[in-house]
Structure 1
Amino acid sequence: MNNQWQSCAFVVNLSQAVRKEQVGGKAVNLARLIHGGFNVPDGFVVTTTAFCHARETNHGHLDDSLADAISTAYRALGEPVVAVRSSATAEDLADSSMAGQYETFLNRKGIVSVLAAVEACWQSLCSERSRSYLEHQGIDADSVAMAVVVQRQVPARVAGVMFTCNPQTGDDGELVIEATWGLGEAVVSGSTQPDTLWVRKDSGMISRIHVAEKESVPLNGGEAPGSDPTGRHRSSCLDTKSVEELRATGRRIESYYGAPQDVEWAIDEHGELFILQSRPITSLEQVAARKRCQEEVLTWIRQRREEGYGPWVRHNLGETLPLPSPLTWSIISKFMSGAGGWGSMYRQVGFEPAANVREDGGLALIGGRIYLDLSVAHEMFAPGFPYRFDPGLLRQNPQAAQSSPTRRCGTFREQRRAAKLLYRVERNLHQLATSLHDRLETEIIPQL
């Protein structure tokens, strides 16, 4: 920017944005990147002082003093096409990034357009979406102030995001790069399917790559996104040189901040890499918790297998209760047990649930989902019942768990005893059906 331009209470140079309460989280991070030697587009920040001044004196709108200060800074920047981005004091935190909650405006050219975008960024703080998110994070919305970053917009040939640690697996030895042609906003907003590359952080080896068909190509200079007439939407955005530069830069940024980062970046037509933003990856704690849960489940399964239980298949009860709460499961598991209502129904028709299914009926909650233990499920019919459920059949059709087991086992004497049991059950079912029909006809229907 022009060296004659001076920061003031309302506007500061982006490189001088060091106080979060004055410039917000995004601007502080950008200034840190600048001081760390990273290539960040030039710009300035409309401070929280300006936001508070507008809110207190002009109902949240710019007055002449604010407009003059912003105009001076914009002229000093050379009046280029700019990106206007919200930078709240509650943003880019280690445990809540606020990504996508506030407004960003691209392709702004001319002071009238810039001033309108600044006001719109201020107003986004009061949106129902933002206030709801802040409340969910335990942050008082009235305590948050909004600064606005105005930066020279990179005429991007390709852009996207880079995670310096795999956000889905928690693998800190792997970077994940997402890229698309043109501006990276389409990747951040999710409006286009980007190319995705999984890159080993130390060696630079690309372990996996997915080239997407990028139907909508975000264009520079204010043009609306549209189909790419060159047909390049079917080709990979990044060459090996760009991937290597991104990998090296990602490692430097992670080292600089001392934690895994979610980095927005852009590469212009000349191949120059710009860093547009860096913030902590906030999902890693959830990933770690999921991995701990998975390890606990696997440990439990191994122990139970050593004790002779399993295998397990999904039970069709899970269609009604896909993720039962602990309270719900404590009630349902008792009902479905050999000693509960389900077992009572079995005994009513003549079956004899064994002692080892009295507590749970052969059902288990594994990883939050309901499974049937095939090593004991047949014992709901009788102790040592000489038929087993077919695992292959149940994997294809969980509804088969509601029928009798079909795989024959046991001695001839056991099978003969089971045949007698099944005969008695069939007779009892017929008698119960006849009795219920008579009750319907003589007692229940007349009382309706």
Structure 2
Amino acid sequence: MMEQYVVDLREVDETHVALVGGKGAHLGELSRIDGVRVPGGFCVTTDAFRHVIAGAPSIDDRRDELARVNSDDREAVRTLSAEIRRTIEGISIPNEVAEAITRALAEVGEGAAYAVRSSATAEDLPTASFAGQQDTYLNVVGPQAILQHISRCWASLFTERAVTYRRRHGIDHRTVHMAVVVQRMAFPQASGILFTADPVTGNRKVATVDAGFGLGEALVSGLVNPDVFTVREGEVVAKAIAAKQRAIQARPTGGTQEVSIDARRQEQPALTDAQVVRLAQLGRRIEAHFGRPQDIEWCLVDDGFQIVQSRPITTLFPIPEIGDQENHVYVSVGHQQMMTDAMKPLGYSMWPLTAMVPMHEAGGRLFVDVTRRLASPASRAGLLNIMGKGDPLVRDALETVLDRDDFVPSLPDAGPGGGAGGGAPPPPARGAGARPPAGAGGRGGGGAGAK
């Protein structure tokens, strides 16, 4: 098959991770969503990366050494990864690859400024985001500078932090390849991050927006505390406006610079409430397209939002699939039996056949929906009592959910055995979760929470 060194972002989608990496595939997919604006550009493919490193056989030897080295030997990891980076950056880009890149630049606009962004094949996955593990360079101007920064992105596959992260997730360095996204630079008035679910509480009905002035690097690097907005059902329900003393902006000649924000402007919101709501609605559209909550990087340019990245929120525990939009509270069945690991498919297919109440599966675990029992005063007291005997922390978690008046509505007393599914309350459990907005307890322990 003929190698393809460059491909337009509009020509790729989620099926092209092996060719353009996780970031490139997500950006291509984003550009296909109606109403979502993605800065134009192209990807330098993994074919180009493989072609380049094929010219330096020593890299394969170093990768083999890296795979064998003890992960606790940080000095060896640091030394080997630095050697690989130096070797990659020292390779002259073959003419055929360089010509493909310069042709693509001429089509998009050779004199424009670009963001040059790493896009590894093990990146932005549902189970591991790899956020910040490889390099991004902003406001790069001119073909020679772009070629140089593409080499730096290739080399960043072997930063010490990226190597360590892959080791921690059991990913073989020899199987990971690097593509590079070359994208028209956005010059925003404000930028930040949108989570379409609360990454702390797991609340799927709440979106949170972090916003600051200028480029998003100021937020990512921790240079400034962002404004934080909470959106529920098309309304800003909470906000905290920070004193944003600094920002990062593009230099006219290329690169970026840190600037001071005028004192009169520091405590002004980076976004209006109307803009926040509009951004959250855009996030819901993106979330619906990908079918899971998203961590989205956005820029505000001339009162229009441009999306420069979207990845799954990997910290959320999965929730049972329910057809309605109501709140649900679940108690983990497995944890009551001290089964903190996920069940095998045979186990969670057989157990519900003998259970007295309906059970729901999520993340390889079984849960009982206790929402209606909590809503009825009599059955609520009985449930809390039996949960407290099994594990006081689970009772505390359920009471925390009940303290949020808008989460579990109070229903007429259904009696001790009332509630969804009927029958007696489940035996004491050692983990509880809520859907939405709380996730079920994770591996090794249970938990509950709602907002």
The answer for the alignment partner of 2:32 in structure 1 is 35
Distance 1:12 1:194 in 2: 35
Q: TM-score, with normalisation over the residues of structure 1?
A: 0.62
Structure in which a larger fraction of residues adopt helix:
1
Q: Which amino acid aligns with 1:219?
A: Q
The answer for the alignment partner of 2:79 in structure 1 is none
Distance 1:243 1:28 in 2: 26
The answer for the alignment partner of 2:427 in structure 1 is none
Distance 1:72 1:189 in 2: 34
Matched, 1:68 2:68: no
Distance 2:125 2:242 in 1: 31
CA contact (8 A) 2:231 2:277 kept: no
Matched, 1:10 2:8: no
Q: 2:189 is paired with a residue of what secondary structure? A: strand
- Superposed displacement of residue 121, structure 1: 0.6
Structure with more relative contact order (C-alpha pairs < 8 Å, separation 6 or more) = 2
Distance 1:306 1:256 in 2: 44
Distance 1:156 1:191 in 2: 17
Distance 1:177 1:241 in 2: 13
- Superposed displacement of residue 63, structure 1: 2.3
- Superposed displacement of residue 36, structure 1: 1.6
Aligned residues: 302
- Superposed displacement of residue 17, structure 1: 2.4
Q: 1:219 is paired with a residue of what secondary structure? A: strand
Does 59-68 or 38-47 show the bigger shift? 59-68
Q: 2:151 is paired with a residue of what secondary structure? A: helix
1:82/1:255 CA distance change after superposition, 3 Å: same
Q: Which amino acid aligns with 2:285?
A: R
Q: Which amino acid aligns with 1:114?
A: I
Whichever of the two has the greater Rg, that structure is 1
Q: TM-score, with normalisation over the residues of structure 2?
A: 0.61
The partner residue of 1:25 within 22, 35, 49 is: 22
Distance 2:139 2:237 in 1: 36
The answer for the alignment partner of 1:50 in structure 2 is 48
CA contact (8 A) 1:103 1:121 kept: yes
Matched, 1:214 2:247: no
- Superposed displacement of residue 8, structure 1: 7.3
Matched, 1:85 2:83: no
Q: 2:174 is paired with a residue of what secondary structure? A: helix
The answer for the alignment partner of 1:191 in structure 2 is 223
- Superposed displacement of residue 282, structure 1: 0.4
1:117/1:134 CA distance change after superposition, 3 Å: same
Distance 2:121 2:260 in 1: 38
After superposition, what is the alpha-carbon deviation per residue over 1:330-375, rounded to whole angstroms, capped at 9, x for unaligned?
A: xxxxxxxxxxxxxxxxxxxxxxxxxxxxxxxxxxxx99xxxxxxxx
Q: Which amino acid aligns with 1:35?
A: R
1:229/1:283 CA distance change after superposition, 3 Å: same
After superposition, what is the alpha-carbon deviation per residue over 1:370-414, rounded to whole angstroms, capped at 9, x for unaligned?
A: xxxxxxxxxxxxxxxxxxxxxxxxxxxxxxxxxxxxxxxxxxxxx
1:65/1:126 CA distance change after superposition, 3 Å: same
Distance 1:39 1:227 in 2: 29
CA contact (8 A) 1:160 1:264 kept: yes
The partner residue of 1:102 within 134, 140, 147 is: 134
Distance 1:15 1:234 in 2: 39
After superposition, what is the alpha-carbon deviation per residue over 1:239-295, rounded to whole angstroms, capped at 9, x for unaligned?
A: 123112101101101111111000100011x2111011111000112999xx979xx
The answer for the alignment partner of 1:353 in structure 2 is none
Distance 1:140 1:300 in 2: 47
Distance 1:10 1:304 in 2: 60
Distance 1:193 1:287 in 2: 31
CA contact (8 A) 1:168 1:287 kept: no
1:66/1:168 CA distance change after superposition, 3 Å: same
CA contact (8 A) 2:21 2:120 kept: yes
1:29/1:223 CA distance change after superposition, 3 Å: closer
CA contact (8 A) 2:235 2:277 kept: no
Distance 1:302 1:214 in 2: 48
1:118-157 to 2 correspondence within 5 Å?
A: 118-157=150-189
Does 228-237 or 66-75 show the bigger shift? 228-237
1:257/1:303 CA distance change after superposition, 3 Å: same
Does 32-41 or 146-155 show the bigger shift? 32-41
CA contact (8 A) 1:82 1:151 kept: yes
- Superposed displacement of residue 230, structure 1: 5.7
Where does structure 1 differ by over 6 angstroms across 4 or more consecutive aligned residues?
Answer: 304-307
- Superposed displacement of residue 113, structure 1: 1.5
1:40-439 to 2 correspondence within 5 Å?
A: 40-57=38-55, 60=88, 61=91, 62-78=93-109, 79-200=111-232, 202=233, 204-221=234-251, 222-229=255-262, 231-268=264-301, 270-285=302-317
Q: Which amino acid aligns with 2:247?
A: V
Q: Which runs of 5+ in 1 are unaligned?
A: 1-6, 311-365, 368-448
- Superposed displacement of residue 16, structure 1: 1.3
Q: Which runs of 5+ in 2 are unaligned?
A: 57-86, 321-329, 337-381, 394-429, 432-451
- Superposed displacement of residue 224, structure 1: 1.1
CA contact (8 A) 2:138 2:256 kept: no
- Superposed displacement of residue 188, structure 1: 2.7
The answer for the alignment partner of 1:406 in structure 2 is none
Distance 1:237 1:155 in 2: 15
Q: Which amino acid aligns with 2:307?
A: I
CA contact (8 A) 1:219 1:225 kept: yes
Q: 1:125 is paired with a residue of what secondary structure? A: helix
Does 229-238 or 28-37 show the bigger shift? 229-238
1:112/1:306 CA distance change after superposition, 3 Å: closer
